[in-house]
């Protein structure tokens, strides 16, 4: 699962270097590289999740949230895949369900995405039904249940237990035909149990599958109960408009502090194309010196993008020193770490925001827009900030 996309990436990168490659072929090679790179990132994220779960380092953050909103978001995220197969997705409740629950919305959304994604993957025609209902746990206490039924290929009864094991699918032919690491359901069951419930499956070969997810909804005293009924029809529904037709440009000065040259060039290129004046620094000490020099000249950078793991002086200490010296500009942490405690550590060091690597261009542009919006709301006389200039049509 790692070697296959890596083979595609390296192979098509070599083809891009061929001087006889046409422009159309070159673009196709790049498209294949991007697709396989995204798949490889998904595989790596799944492996990291399994590692964190096994090490007992996967945190659960319970907050008050809407189960219907989380379901709607998960269904909407599967829209493209369902639309390609002309599948309908029905959402309903049996009886009433709580309007708000206390759980970890990120983990719940990830479970639903995995299970609904599997249903879409293994269903060629028909519909997927998602039913919400309240149930009682074996040991007592209420549980919110999500039943996901599909009309897909199904599984033999003797294969049901194995689908929840890491790196296992129903059989090897499934892996060859549909792909996947076999990690999604293993992760989902672990998350479900962390949320006070479970994830189980019933299936019949050729007759589809039924997954039942239960979670602890928390204290429901005083919570309103509602009914849910709806159908998301992807056959005739228009696909959502993409934001790629427009690109926002900015004014301002940015400093990119990153020790890996290829990453530094990428980030600088993205910022330059967005209209910013960019300077570079190869480690935290050089970044600190450049930022302080600009500050002493009365022109602090509007934003500093600070990698955290660097030689000489890391990003945490560089940021602390800048704040200790009264540096007023925005500092955005750049890191490959995605755990919540890592974000808190960045903010505690003095960073204003947090961006994860690998850098996703669309998400990076959204971050710039958010920083520009924050800067526009600062009181007059405060520190500088990015100025959003215009929104212009992207060149064809």
Residue 286's domain is classified under what CATH number? 3.40.50.2300
180, 207, 233 - which closes a domain? 233
**Residue 172 included in any domain:** yes
Q: Are residues 182 and 276 in the same domain?
A: no
User: Could you report the per-residue pLDDT of 334-359, keeping only the tens digit for each?
Assistant: 987 766 677 888 889 999 998 888 88
Q: What CATH number is attached to the domain comprising 49?
A: 1.10.287
Q: Are residues 114 and 221 in the same domain?
A: yes
Q: What CATH number is attached to the domain comprising 219?
A: 3.30.565.10
For residue 317, the model assigns a pLDDT of 95
* Residue 93 in tokens: 């409740």
**Residue 98 included in any domain:** yes
**Residue 71 included in any domain:** yes
Q: Are residues 265 and 378 in the same domain?
A: yes
pTM: 0.64
Mean pLDDT of the chain: 83
Q: Are residues 227 and 250 in the same domain?
A: no
Q: Are residues 144 and 38 in the same domain?
A: no
The DSSP secondary-structure symbol of 379 reads P
The DSSP secondary-structure symbol of 92 reads E
For residue 234, the model assigns a pLDDT of 41
User: Could you report the per-residue pLDDT of 379-390, keeping only the tens digit for each?
Assistant: 544 455 666 654
The DSSP secondary-structure symbol of 125 reads S
Cα–Cα distance for residue pair 105/142, rounded to 1 Å? 18
Q: What is the Cα Rg of the chain in Å?
A: 24
Q: Are residues 175 and 123 in the same domain?
A: yes
Q: Are residues 133 and 42 in the same domain?
A: no
Q: 261: helix, coil or strand? A: helix
Instruction: Determine the structural domain holding residue 385 and report its residue range.
Output: 243-393
For residue 167, the model assigns a pLDDT of 63
For residue 190, the model assigns a pLDDT of 92
Beta carbons of 104 and 63 less than 8 angstroms apart = yes
Q: Are residues 44 and 176 in the same domain?
A: no
Q: Are residues 318 and 222 in the same domain?
A: no
Task: Give helix 315-324 / helix 284-296 axis angle, nearest 10°.
Answer: 20
Q: Are residues 24 and 86 in the same domain?
A: no
- Domain total in the chain: 3
Average pLDDT per consecutive 10 residues, the chain (396 residues; last block may be shorter) = 81 89 89 85 83 83 92 83 83 92 93 91 88 87 93 80 69 47 83 94 87 94 84 42 56 93 89 93 96 93 93 94 94 81 86 87 88 67 55 40
Residue found under tokens 């595989």:
43
For residue 178, the model assigns a pLDDT of 46
Q: 165: helix, coil or strand? A: coil
Q: Are residues 100 and 193 in the same domain?
A: yes
Q: Are residues 95 and 226 in the same domain?
A: yes
For residue 82, the model assigns a pLDDT of 80
212, 233, 254 - which closes a domain? 233
**Residue 238 included in any domain:** no
For residue 351, the model assigns a pLDDT of 93
């Amino acid at each position: 699962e790692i070697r296959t996309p890596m083979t595609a990436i390296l192979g098509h990168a070599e083809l891009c270097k061929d001087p006889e490659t046409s422009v159309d072929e070159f673009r196709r090679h790049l498209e294949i590289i991007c697709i396989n790179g995204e798949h490889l990132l998904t595989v790596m994220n799944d492996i990291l999740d399994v590692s964190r779960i096994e090490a007992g380092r996967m945190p659960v953050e319970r907050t008050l949230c809407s189960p219907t909103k989380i379901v709607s978001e998960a269904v909407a995220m599967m829209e493209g895949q369902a639309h390609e197969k002309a599948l309908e997705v029905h959402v309903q409740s049996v009886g009433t369900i709580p309007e708000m629950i206390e759980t970890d919305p990120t983990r719940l959304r990830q479970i639903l995405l995995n299970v609904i994604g599997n249903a879409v993957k293994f269903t060629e025609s028909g519909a997927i039904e998602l039913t919400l209902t309240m149930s009682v746990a074996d040991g007592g206490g209420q549980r919110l249940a999500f039943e996901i039924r599909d009309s897909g290929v199904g599984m033999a009864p003797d294969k049901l237990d194995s689908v929840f094991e890491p790196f296992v699918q129903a059989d090897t032919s499934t892996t060859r035909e549909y792909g996947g690491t076999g990690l999604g359901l293993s992760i989902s069951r672990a998350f479900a149990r962390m949320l006070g419930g479970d994830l189980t499956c019933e299936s019949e070969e050729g007759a589809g599958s039924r997954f039942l997810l239960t979670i602890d909804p928390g204290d429901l005293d005083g919570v309103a109960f509602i009914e849910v009924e709806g159908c998301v029809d992807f056959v005739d529904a228009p696909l959502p408009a993409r934001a790629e037709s427009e690109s926002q440009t900015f004014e301002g000065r940015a400093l990119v502090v990153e020790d890996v040259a290829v990453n530094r060039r990428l980030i600088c290129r993205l910022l330059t194309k967005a209209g910013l004046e960019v300077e570079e620094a190869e480690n935290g000490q050089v970044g600190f010196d450049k930022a302080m020099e600009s500050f002493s000249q009365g022109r602090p950078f509007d934003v500093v993008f600070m990698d955290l793991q660097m030689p000489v002086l890391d990003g945490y200490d560089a940021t602390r020193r800048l704040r200790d010296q009264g540096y007023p500009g925005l500092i955005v942490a750049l890191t490959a770490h995605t755990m919540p405690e890592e974000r808190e550590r960045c903010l505690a060091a003095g960073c204003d925001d947090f961006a994860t690597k690998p850098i996703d261009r669309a998400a990076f542009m959204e971050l710039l827009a958010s920083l520009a919006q924050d800067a526009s709301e600062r009181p007059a006389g405060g520190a500088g900030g990015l100025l959003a200039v215009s929104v212009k049509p992207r060149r064809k």
